[in-house]
Homo-oligomer: A and B are copies of this chain.
């Protein structure tokens, strides 16, 4: 058993540098074109943690010099009403990015809501267009958690080519896109999920593991290959992740802590992509962040 303590991937620090760069780009855009990058958030219903997430995103926008517009709709909103509200934002030239806070109430067709977002404003990377762009290596916005994970791996010089990456989870905004982004980086990619048989043996093959199962402490330390790179995309009460962090720290070479690993990267990428959208929608003259593969 390898007793070395894993190096922790400091998402808070990497996100802070990305925020800084984003604020500079937002200011450059304002100075050169007069355009103020603007993120519209759409919140349906009164789930307190969703409201908190939206507030966090708006606060971060303010600090980065990005305008935000807040749309709050009652829990009784219909799919058609929500789609209409999002379409208006898609058509509004003063809005550059649109975030629909997940989850929406159960009676709403979330996919219909997502597809009402103009792909040019899909800074949260939730549309079918954005997913296919990620899968095919085409220009477009990345889903924020998957894109944040890739940036974090880049920051820690993880060379993905030829590595076996195992993704636990297959949601449309996390598991599926992160697997496609890893495949685009030439990793061999295995998707595991609730129906997978022999999960510990598959996890044991992972040079890079991305855990996105939504179950606290699900991944056991003894499942891991010694020296693996472990990305824990979970967040549960009491600061637990999807991985048994204490055990993983004794086996992995690199590990994202919870909190302070993947989480901070998600909002940081949302804001970076909002400025990307504003730049793209406001004409040339400001460098596009997507041209860089890593945070400067």
Q: Which residues of A contact B (CB under 8 A)?
A: 111, 128-129, 131-133, 135-136, 138, 161-164, 170, 172, 176, 179-180, 183, 186, 188-193, 195-198, 202
Contact = CB atoms under 8 A, between A and B. Distances in A.
A190 B193 contact: no
Given A128-B129, A132-B132, A188-B193, 8 more contacts: A111-B138, A128-B128, A128-B132, A131-B131, A131-B132, A136-B172, A162-B197, A188-B197
Contacts of A176: 135-136, 180, 183
A175 to B, nearest CB: 9
Nearest to A172: B136
A197 B129 CA distance: 31
For chain A, what secondary structure do more than half of its interface residues adopt (helix, strand, loop), or is it mixed?
mixed
17 contacts: A128-B129, A128-B132, A128-B133, A128-B136, A129-B129, A129-B132, A131-B136, A136-B172, A164-B197, A164-B198, A170-B183, A176-B180, A186-B195, A188-B193, A189-B190, A189-B191, A190-B190
Given A176-B135, A189-B190, A195 B129 contact: no
A162 B128 contact: no
A192 to B, nearest CB: 6
Contact of A111 (B128, B136, B186, B190): B136
Nearest to A170: B183
A260 B161 CA distance: 36
B129 A135 contact: no
A136 B126 CA distance: 12
A135 B138 contact: no
A24 to B, nearest CB: 32
A188 B196 contact: yes
A279 B75 CA distance: 37
B131 A162 contact: no
A196 B182 CA distance: 12
Residue among A133, A138, A190, A197 having the largest count of chain B Cβ atoms under 10 Å: A190
A131 B128 CA distance: 8
A191 B193 contact: no
Contacts of A164: 197-198
A173 to B, nearest CB: 10
A190 B198 CA distance: 14
B202 A193 contact: no
Contacts of A179: 191
B135 A135 contact: yes
A193 B197 contact: no
Contacts of A202: 188
A174 to B, nearest CB: 13
